[in-house]
Structure 1
Amino acid sequence: MRKRVLIALVVIVIIIGVSGANIAMKNKKSNLMMVQTSTIMKNDIESHILSTGTIFSMDKRDIISDVEEKIEKIYVQEGDKVEKNQVLIELDKSEMFYRIKDSKLRFSIEMELLKQLEQEDSKEYEIQLSNAEIRYEDAKNTYEINAKLFEKGIISKTEFEKSKDDMDQLYNDYLLAEERQKNDNRHNDISVQNHKVELARIEVEKLEKELRKYTIKSPIAGTIVDTNISESGIIKSHVTLMSVQDLEHLEIVMDINEYDASKLEVGDPVVITGDSFEGKVYEGKIKYIGSIAKPSEQGQNNENVVDVKVEINNNDEFLKPGFSAKADILTDKKADVLSVPYEAIFTKKGGEKVIFTVSDEGIVKEHTIKTGIASDFSIEIIADVEEGASVIINPTEEIKDGDQVMVDKVM
């Protein structure tokens, strides 16, 4: 009997001990912080920027006339494809033909006058100068001979002085003839006429160059759009008559916010979609990034944006200038890198970034990290952690290295 009572008492003590231990364990667990975790994984990460823009032709030219004149013939209409230098419009040239004919006639007259001046006898003054020089030399020789004769008393003083006066007079005649030759007006007349001929020639060239403006050609190969003229109408100078667009080479013009623009590089690949061409996907690349930022023209915020242009590589007839387009820009990619959800990263007051891993026993470990490229849902981390480790999501300041926690849910 005693033995049975003793056994019963031992069983009761064991039951009470186990129950107490279970209660203590439950109380301890109830005091642990509940956390949610995810798994550190190795993934291929791509960083993208999404934006919208408008499709434009890469080359658009407005056709403008430099002259005001009546239209004689229009060779194209809206929608026509044209080649570079193809004639689009002919203007009435009748007035220009008359002006050119008149200017050529004036040029011929001026040329004829020049020939007449050049053919006239221009040696008259040269002969006069030569004769004056001969007479002066003869008088000089006579004077020198008479001077010797006068010294010897062979001739009188009167005769000697007369020979000197004759020499002086003929010398003056020589100087006068020389001056006349220098001031020959025929040389000046020829110079003036040469100038008139040159002016007439320039006028002919000017009018012939002006005539070329009466035939209006396409500056590029493309498609005619926005025509605004009719035959027999009068066009005004410097007014757009029609436009030519190169529809085979299109681009998207976008405004990218300054934060995202700093991540872009010329040549970055772009995937292009749009509601106006639903179901079609096109490829392109960044061809231009503006060198300055400007205030955004959309919305009420004070965001600054940068002009960005995307060249479309494989456009077709479904794409048209003026369509809206969506651009998915690939800015970076890495293969097989450690990554965590954005929510796993905790930034301390000093700016240090950390994550908290949890062991199978629920023990927390803090890891200082550096971040790399980011996708829409995860971000690359550089840290002393292993793939497959559990990482706390949305950690708070209360979590410390070495804490024991209870995992509530694995995300």
Structure 2
Amino acid sequence: MISVNFNVHRKLKFFIFIIIILILSTTVVMASILKSGLQSDAYTVLKKGSSINKINVKGQIESDNTAEVYTTSSNIIKEIKVKIGDEVKSGDILALLDTKDLQKEIEQMEASLKTTQATNKSKLDNAQKAYDNAEKLSREGENSQIAAAEGAVNAAKLDLDDKKNTYEDNKVLFQCGAISEQDLNKSEISFKNAQDTYSESSVALNNIKDKVNLDLNTAKSNYEQAKFLYEDKSQQIAIERKKQQFSDCTVLAPADGIISSVNGVEGNPASGSLLQIQSTDNIVAIMEVKEADIDKVKNGQKVKVKTDSTGDKIIQGEIIKIEDIAKEEDNDMLKLKDDSNDEEAKFEVKIKIKDLNHKLKIGMKATADIILEEKNNVYKVPYESIFKDKNDNNCIYIAEKKNKGYLIKHVSVAKGTESDSYVEVTGKHIKDGVIVLNNPLDHEVGETIKIK
């Protein structure tokens, strides 16, 4: 029991000794600092400048104009002439599809069209002649059958008039007793026969005229049908469509740009998007902003973009679009159920590059400062120089010149714009030349220090 207490006592003495050594070392160091004076990184001399509140984000350079290259043909892909990263110009050949079957179809269709056109031309010529003849026969005085029939009608009409007059005269004579009833009956029969002849000749004339009109209408209909078939372009249109399919088998670049993806595979049928081209004429930066910062970001805010290839050169930009939905991988519900994968969501922000001589390339990794707020002619101090006093006021320590040293004083300040490392401050004692201590916890009010 005595041995145990003795060991504890020895350990306690050792710890006390270590603490004393540390205190003495700190005192010696502080004394050395006070004697030599504070280094320049231990204080800030106030002067007016700019205060920028910004968010630093990462992303990459992309095109704001992406063209998907499709073809209407489902033919086999014979050759793809480009690869990812190739720069192409509008009209450059990107891929070739197999055209052997198409070429045969076009040749067969053109031969069929030639035969059909010759046949239809012959039919049209014959129909034209028949129509012209029928039209001629329908004109007055041109049809001999009509002329003969009209002559027969006229003769029958004269005979009818004569037989009618004779019959009327004989009726008077019979009443006077000048002729017999038999003679009267004969004249009546002759009159009725003349009526029948006239009626029959009139019907015959109308039948001939009807037939001429029917022949004319039939000839006209046949001509119009033959003309329609001759002028029909459906076969020609079908050939043109086949030729367009043939042309589509040579896949051309629709615009200048960089090949960003190749989906088609040689030997497989062409379907969907074969390739993707990103235009180099309209470059944007796509940046990822954390959900904690997304509410601070607004359209129109200035952005300063940098890449490894452009070094320290700042490329000016402007926010033009903020996605309303987080990136897809951040919305995976399976991940959200697993706490180990529950990472902060990120939102894509599109930045228009305003510097026309940017020399940026699609796919470059980039960083950017989104300027949330910027003020000029303000004072700013390091974050760590501000602390709270017992009344919860924001305060700083300043060093005022006194004799050969500097006297530490406590002053209240109001905070303004904040950036990653600095805070804008205002207050009664804030002016040019004031010395602010960066590490106030290392000092006490009323302490006199030296400054290098």
**Amino acid in the other structure paired with 1:173:** I
Change (3 A) 1:338 1:296: farther
Cα distance in 1 for residues equivalent to 2:159 and 2:447? 146
User: How does 1:2-401 map onto structure 2 within 5 Å?
Assistant: 42-61=48-67, 66-69=73-76, 71=78, 80-120=86-126, 121-123=129-131, 124-130=133-139, 131=143, 134=147, 137-138=150-151, 141=154, 149=162, 152=165, 153=168, 156-184=191-219, 186-187=222-223, 189-191=225-227, 193-194=229-230, 197-224=232-259, 234-238=267-271, 244-246=277-279, 250-257=283-290, 259-260=293-294, 262-266=296-300, 268-273=302-307, 277=309, 279-286=311-318, 288-290=320-322, 292-294=324-326, 297-298=329-330, 300=342, 305-311=347-353, 313=355, 314-316=357-359, 321=363, 323-337=364-378, 373-377=417-421, 387-388=430-431
Change (3 A) 1:296 1:156: closer
Cα distance in 1 for residues equivalent to 2:125 and 2:160? 48
Contact 1:224–1:244 (CA<8 Å) still a contact in 2?
Answer: yes
Contact 1:339–1:379 (CA<8 Å) still a contact in 2?
Answer: yes
Question: Number of paired residues?
Answer: 342
With the length of structure 1 as denominator, give the TM-score of the two structures. 0.62
Q: Please give the secondary structure, in 1, of the residue aligned with 2:306.
A: strand
Contact 2:322–2:347 (CA<8 Å) still a contact in 1?
Answer: no
Identical residues among aligned pairs (%): 16
Unaligned runs of 5+ in 1: 1-37, 347-353, 391-405
Which of the pair is proportionally richer in helix?
A: 2
C-alpha offsets along residues 363-386 of structure 1, whole Å, 9 cap, x if unaligned?
A: x9999x8x87543455668x9967
Which of the pair is proportionally richer in strand?
A: 1
CA shift for structure 1 position 161: 3.7
**Amino acid in the other structure paired with 1:193:** L
C-alpha offsets along residues 54-79 of structure 1, whole Å, 9 cap, x if unaligned?
A: 333445556555332362x6655666
Q: Please give the secondary structure, in 2, of the residue aligned with 1:67.
A: coil
Contact 1:60–1:244 (CA<8 Å) still a contact in 2?
Answer: yes
Contact 2:302–2:370 (CA<8 Å) still a contact in 1?
Answer: yes
Contact 2:412–2:427 (CA<8 Å) still a contact in 1?
Answer: no
Cα distance in 2 for residues equivalent to 1:50 and 1:289? 17
Q: Please give the secondary structure, in 1, of the residue aligned with 2:130.
A: coil
Cα distance in 1 for residues equivalent to 2:329 and 2:263? 31
Contact 2:59–2:287 (CA<8 Å) still a contact in 1?
Answer: yes
Q: Please give the secondary structure, in 2, of the residue aligned with 1:256.
A: strand
* RMSD after superposition: 5.0
Cα distance in 2 for residues equivalent to 1:385 and 1:84? 66
Q: Whose radius of gyration is greater, 1 or 2?
A: 2
CA shift for structure 1 position 103: 1.6
Cα distance in 2 for residues equivalent to 1:296 and 1:189? 63
Unaligned runs of 5+ in 2: 1-43, 170-189, 331-340, 401-409, 435-443
Change (3 A) 1:328 1:335: same
CA shift for structure 1 position 213: 1.7
With the length of structure 2 as denominator, give the TM-score of the two structures. 0.57
C-alpha offsets along residues 215-241 of structure 1, whole Å, 9 cap, x if unaligned?
A: 2222333445666889xx524212666
